[in-house]
Homo-oligomer: A and B are copies of this chain.
Amino acid sequence: MSPFSSQFLQLLLLILCSLSLSFGQPHPLDPLTPSEISAIRTIIKSSSINSTSFSFHYVGLEEPDKQTFLSWHSNPTAHPILPRQAFVILRAGGQTHELYVDITNNCIASHRVRSGNGYPTLNMEEQNAVTLLTFNYTPFVESVKKRGVDLKDVVCSTYTVGWNGERDKGRVIKLQCFVVGETANIYMRPLEGITILADLEAMEILEYLDRIIVPVPTATGTDYRASRQMPPYGPRGNPVVVTQPEGKGFTVSGNVVRWANWALHVGFDARAGLVISHASVLNDENNEYRSVLYKSYVSEICVPYMDPSEEWYFKAFFDYGDYGFGPLSSSLEPMIDCPPNAEYMDGYYANGDGSPVHIPNVICIFERYAGDPSWRHTEILIPGKVITEAREEVSLVVRTVTTLGNYDYVLDWEFKTSGSIKVWVGLTGMMEVRGTDYSHAKEIRGEQHGELVAPNTIGVYHDHYISYHLDLDIAGTTNSFVKANLKTVRVNGGKTPRKSYWTTVKETATTEADARVDFHTAAPAELLFVNPSVKTKLGNTVGYRLISSSAAATSLLTDDDYPLIRAAYTKKQLWVTPYNKRDKWVSGLYADQSHGDDNLAAWSMRNRSIENTDIVLWYTMGIHHIPSQEDFPLMSMLSCGFELRPFNFFDRNPLIKTQPFSKGRWAT
């Protein structure tokens, strides 16, 4: 229950919006600058929100409405500067506060206290603080001693508790601890069998259970740092050095990237990380940019584990919603995370105190050449000639890496001159393992919840669901989702001996229910996102098609199981919703301890119309992970991706007229 009347507050705050501050003239979609983040903090700290202590959990750009932005974009000079606004989530007085802060006018434009299930994204400061509680908690100190481990070798980490039908205990968190010892690879050395529940706001340990003792796996062979390796060294090819004698083919102006036939805005958000906005491609017929994506980003990575025991049952993380990309994003290592020809962008987010935190090199942008042609043909039929014609494939990659505790995800958006967008995710980093008595496979008895990957080390079965928010605006905002179903036609008494063939039957999804696709059970279909009112010269409807990923796992949990209720959207790979500026997070705005009442599946139950309107594609790549010894002590990257490929978006292949690179220049 809110002690504030939000109507009253809004009124109060709006009339206070008067002092106009200038921070230059950013692009309306630019992420918040450090000075804007500081200004937001100052505005809030000096406001009437009456709490002695409050903590920041999200501070992000509140974008202008789409139509406002598009109108501005069509003629920026004719418009006034769009006001800069931020959306802020605070915890204060044991409550969650949502604020819209008008940065331009230096005031809080609206403020309400949130009610409902779920809690905001954790901040780093409270996570750091809560893990330190363990070291002065006598039962834990004794548990560590009982295991023959030196307390100063122990580190602990926070594990969101999810929701498993229990009554609300407030903002609680579980802690799991590891042994550093001689290795940096803490994740391979769990202090198994201990359950610790702590209150993030009272900053105290609420419950403690030391249930089972199993050996802490040895540090031997777990450290991955180059400095700790001894010969014989592992295999590698010879270095391949990439250079660009004509320089980079892209320009970065603020956050707007232009490359070949593409223009896009590259932003950064504390929860989503990399955000691609307003990606448009040149229409070769009239040399004008035509929109493809209004906004796209990873909306959530959900990782449920498959061990129902006391220490593991609750593990079903919403990595973005629980922890946020901001605090967990990695500064990219030049030359390794990205190639030498990459350019970098920094990112900023607000810490728990509301102050800006700088993440250098959080995004990299580079031109990729992997040795492939973009198209080719050899023609031998024309008498007296052998024609071989081909073009080199150079694409543009925009990359971020997020490290969600043990796991690292390399997240790529690859733009191709053909108009295709390939979306890649590379999974690497460490598995979550549980300690076990077993040191050899022959000792294993009964059902396991994972695979023995090293002595005393079980790699626990789990899934990864990487969910993309893809606000496609194909040649404008009014789009439809069309399934071109492949239908077998049986020929009866035909003029030829052929007895069957397939053809296509197009079916436009009218409501959200029509648009839920499970690729495992769906009949074969080409999945098209079209603009019904825009045609090619030839009369075809312009569109893009989705080429799905081989990583197409859907959840195997039962419908009534709590992790599934909270992530019900993981039962289908594809959903389409009407555009709603507020529907950003597949797991809900408040993912931590959410009950599944504000997730994609819940929204979709409204079964709204999605035909010939502004629609959003939600696409989830899924992986069931059965660990193997190769995943120990650190996994080689597993890459998977999907593709958005033009389908009658161009009048013809736009690359035919592309000139080849000078061969001489390539041979340097």
Contact = CB atoms under 8 A, between A and B. Distances in A.
Given A237-B367, A524-B624, A447 B503 contact: yes
Contact of A540 (B420, B441, B649): B441
A331 B388 contact: yes
6 contacts: A224-B377, A234-B655, A237-B396, A240-B244, A498-B561, A545-B628
Q: Which of A247, A380, A389, A452 has the most CB of B within 10 A?
A: A389
B494 A341 contact: no
Contacts of A648: 628-630
Interface string A521-545: 0001010000000011011100001
Nearest to A417: B235
A502 B238 contact: no
Interface string A627-668: 011111111111100100111111111111111111101111
Contact of A658 (B233, B337, B558): B233
Given A240-B394, A313-B497, A313-B498, 16 more contacts: A164-B497, A166-B497, A224-B656, A235-B260, A236-B661, A313-B496, A330-B388, A331-B388, A336-B376, A371-B397, A372-B639, A374-B636, A378-B401, A461-B502, A499-B562, A629-B652
B636 A233 contact: no
Contact of A241 (B330, B342, B560, B668): B668
A501 B307 contact: yes
Of listed A243, A373, A545, A635, residue having the most chain B CB within 10 A: A373
Interface string A381-408: 1110101111111111100010101001
Contacts of A547: 550
Nearest to A248: B238
Contact of A655 (B490, B636, B665): B636
Contacts of A232: 284, 287, 657
B237 A395 contact: yes
A77 B546 CA distance: 56
B234 A654 contact: yes
B657 A229 contact: yes
B538 A454 contact: yes
A540 to B, nearest CB: 5
Interface string A72-93: 0000000000000000000000
A226 B668 CA distance: 22
A330 to B, nearest CB: 4
Interface stretch (A15-23, A111-119, A426-434): A426-434
A241 B667 CA distance: 7
A495 interface: yes
A548 interface: yes
Nearest to A155: B381
A397 to B, nearest CB: 7
Ranked nearest first, the 6 interchain pairs of A and B with the lowest CB-CB distance are: A441-B539, A238-B249, A237-B394, A234-B658, A240-B369, A235-B261
A418 interface: yes
